[in-house]
Amino acid sequence: MNELAKALISTSAFAAPTSILESIPEAAAHSIPLPTVPHSIYAEVWHMDFWQKISFDWIEGKPTPVPEHASGGFPANTSEPWDSVRSRFLNGIQYGAAISNDLDLLGKVVACPTVGDENRKMSVHDQLVSLAAHNAYHLGRIVLLRQLLGIWPPPSGGYSW
């Protein structure tokens, strides 16, 4: 497995996403432990999946537009079951890891239209690096949320420092 795939699905620089998202009850996924915390674990995972889907659309040649405001990338409705949101995200990172092993595809340049730069382009490799970095940021937030909720580390261990 290459380092990019590890950054998406394994233990590269942090605990694996499957461990970070392991054994989170539905109620805890929706909890906001402090009034200053802007998003629940559920919303963080939904957000990662939202951007992951856009990244994969771009990689597949679909120039999907991004929301005009950050709030457009977080759920307005949280009625979808937590296990469904988590599974969709975890399946998506597996897809990203598979793409990271396609050496011919990694160099392909794709359209990544963003607010203020509708003609933005980047290689598939760079898009996956960006996705891995984005996920790492939000997975770190999830670890902190789990710590605040008293549900860290997960049963498989995770990192406890």
156 in a domain, yes or no? no
Assign residue 42 the CATH number of its domain. Answer: 1.20.120.450
Measured on CA atoms in the order 17, 93, 46, 58, is the torsion positive or negative?
Answer: positive
Q: What is the pLDDT of residues 92-107, one digit of tens each?
A: 999 999 999 999 999 9
Give residue 121's domain range: 3-149
**Per-residue model confidence (pLDDT) at position 159:** 67
What is residue 157's predicted lDDT score, i.e. its pLDDT? Answer: 80
Please say if the pLDDT value at position 12 is more than 80.
Answer: no
Domain for residue 10, yes or no? yes
Flag whether 56 is in a domain. yes
Evaluate whether residue 25 is within a structural domain: yes
Asked whether residue 143 is assigned to any structural domain, the reply reads yes
User: Is 154 contained in some domain?
Assistant: no
Exposure class string for 111-140: b at 16+ Cβ within 10 A, else e: ebbeeeeeeeeebbbebbbebbeebbebbe
pLDDT at position 160, please?
61
Total of domains in the chain = 1
**Domain assignment present for 155:** no
90: left (phi over 0), alpha (psi -120 to 50) or beta: alpha
In a domain, 93, yes or no: yes
Q: What is the pTM of this model?
A: 0.95
